Amino acid sequence: MATALVILAAGKGTRMNSDLPKVLHPIAHASLLEHALIAGRALDPERVIVVAGHGADAVRAAVSEIDETAEVALQEEQLGTAHAVDQAREALQDFAGDVVVLYGDTPFVSAETLERMVAAREGADLVILGFEAADPARYGRLVMDGTSLERIVEFKDASAQEREISFCNSGLMACDAGQMFDLISKIGNENASGEYYLTDLVELARAEGRSVTAVACDESETLGVNSRLDLAGADATFQAKARKSLMELGVTLMAPETVYLAFDTVIGRDTVIEPNVVFGPGVTVESGALIRAFSHLEGCHVSRGAKIGPYARLRPGAELAEDTHVGNFVEIKNAEIAAGAKVNHLSYIGDASVGEKTNIGAGTITCNYDGVMKHRTEIGARSFIGSNTLLVAPISVGDEAMTATGTVVTRTVEDGDLAIGRTRQENKPGRARKLMDILRAKKVKISKEAK
């Protein structure tokens, strides 16, 4: 059976106190909306419709970056959840299959849960996702009769007995597209808010003799984000789960609570991560690497046996081969560091390639930017770049070549050559003392004049 996703993302999120639409706030470097889309991909949906409202242009731009095949429907007035889903009617008018309704501010529903909801559709016309709440509070209660869902009762309308029910409504549901939109057409707004509620589908479906059931998931999957406090809590939940997963897969986190992971971080077994390491998006670390404390990685690939940090920064496009060393206060950007090469101290290597077993001395800089364009630096294998070398790109240094300490390289260095480019040193006898006397006298004069 074909599946379509309808993701509700129209809310303003007033409690976020933000100009940014609520669903675009990030958890682990991915927006709430992207987390929902990632979960939905497990169903291999034929169609994806995101219903936008507040900040629709920003939401539309974000959707196109995340999934260019997804469509955006506009809910110009926020008149309730059923009204929101109804905005996808036109986009799905030629669709035959199941519609799964997700929420853009509920980021943690699992792929397994969504698959169970779709599987449950084989025995029921309408499937609701529920959860056992530790504190049911003001959630809507799911009143069950065996596996049949009798009704959803909102807290304010529930009897004392119904309020004792701990099986609660998450808001997610699955139904045949034709049946869903037919039922939505019959929903009224005779309530205090004057809105059209998707939960009314249960009562309407049962009135027509249709079967309704509920699938249960862990409460953590239904966590919604409505405030900055919720956002922080959701991020902490994600981090705790991601760290646990890595450790179970054989990664050592020396101080797990200090390591920050992105939604797509991949780390191989027997890698050791020291305290206070931050992973931005797009990072893959192979098995057996060492990431030392206070390093920051983003958009990079670190191969087996590499040693990174402490205090290293790997920026997008950094590609480190096996057994490379990138040490303290080194920044690598859009550069390939070949096997066994070392960049150990206080250096910047950008828009460059460094050959195998080459050593880059402390304070080396690839001068890659002329104010308008970026330029490449090519350094060969088994070369030695002396400390405080400035490589003015575009430039190339051959295999087994050397640069002397303090050299400014502006011309090609051929294989095996030694480049020396610095001015001759001259010592002026006694000039240091004379100069300091002049400067001290000047300072005294300035101080007296200031009084």
Q: Which of 191, 222, 253 is the last residue of a domain?
A: 222
What is residue 192's predicted lDDT score, i.e. its pLDDT?
Answer: 77
272 in Cβ contact with 252 (< 8 Å): yes
Q: What average pLDDT does this structure show over 157-161?
A: 87
- 344 by DSSP, 3-state: which? strand
- Give the pLDDT confidence score for residue 193 in this predicted structure: 80
pLDDT at 352: 98
Residue 259 in any domain: the answer is yes
Q: Output the average pLDDT for the chain.
A: 96
CATH of the domain at 341: 2.160.10.10
Report pLDDT for 107: 93
Percent of the chain whose predicted confidence (pLDDT) is above 70: 100
Band of pLDDT at residue 156, cut at 50, 70 and 90? confident
Residue 191 clears pLDDT 90, i.e. is over it: no
Q: Is residue 395 part of a domain?
A: yes
State residue 157's pLDDT score: 82
What would the DSSP string read from start to end of 47-71?
A: EEEEEEBTBHHHHHHHHHHH-TT-E
Residues 164, 37, single domain; the answer is yes
**Joined tokens for residue 303:** 């191969």
The answer to whether position 204 is within a domain reads: yes
- Marked catalytic residue, from 25, 35, 54, 345: 345
Judgement on whether residues 85 and 185 belong to the same structural domain of the protein:
yes
205 and 349 share one domain: no
Domain that holds residue 357: 240-419
Q: For residue 138, is pLDDT > 90?
A: no
Active-site residue, 325 included: no
- What is the average per-residue pLDDT within 67-85? 95
pTM confidence score:
0.90
- Other beta carbons within 10 angstroms of residue 382's beta carbon come to 14
Structure letter (DSSP) for residue 11? -
| Same domain assignment for residues 170 and 137 | yes
In a domain, 441, yes or no: no
Dihedral angle of Cα 313, 317, 321, 324, to the nearest 10 degrees: -20
Does pLDDT of 204 surpass 90? yes
**Are 247 and 367 in a shared domain?**
yes
173: left (phi over 0), alpha (psi -120 to 50) or beta: beta
The predicted structure's pLDDT at residue 274: 98
Residue with tokens 């010592």: 427
Give the per-residue pLDDT at 451.
75
In a domain, 434, yes or no: no
Query: Are 244 and 294 found together in one domain?
Result: yes
Task: Let me know whether 195 and 244 are in one domain.
Answer: no
pLDDT more than 90, % of the chain: 92
Which tops the pLDDT comparison, 343 or 155? 343
* Residue 438 located in a structural domain: no
Structural domain count, the chain: 2
- Residue 48 sits in the same domain as residue 142: yes
Alpha-helical runs (H) found in 208-300:
228-248
| Assigned domain for 208 exists | yes
Smallest CA-to-CA distance from 4 within 99, 74, 80 is with: 99
- Assess if residue 260 is contained within a domain: yes
> Residue 108 has what pLDDT?
95
Residue 52 buriedness (CB in 10 A; 0-12 / 13-18 / 19+) = buried
Check whether residue 93 and residue 190 sit in a common domain. yes
Positions of E strands within 254-367: 266-267, 272-273, 278-279, 284-285, 290-291, 296-297, 301-302, 307-308, 313-314, 319-320, 325-328, 331-337, 342-345, 348-354, 359-360, 365-367
What per-residue confidence (pLDDT) applies to 328? 97
pLDDT for residue 252 is more than 80: yes
| 260 and 325 belong to one structural domain | yes
pLDDT tops 90 at residue 285: yes
Task: Tell me the sheet residues that pair with 392.
Answer: 367
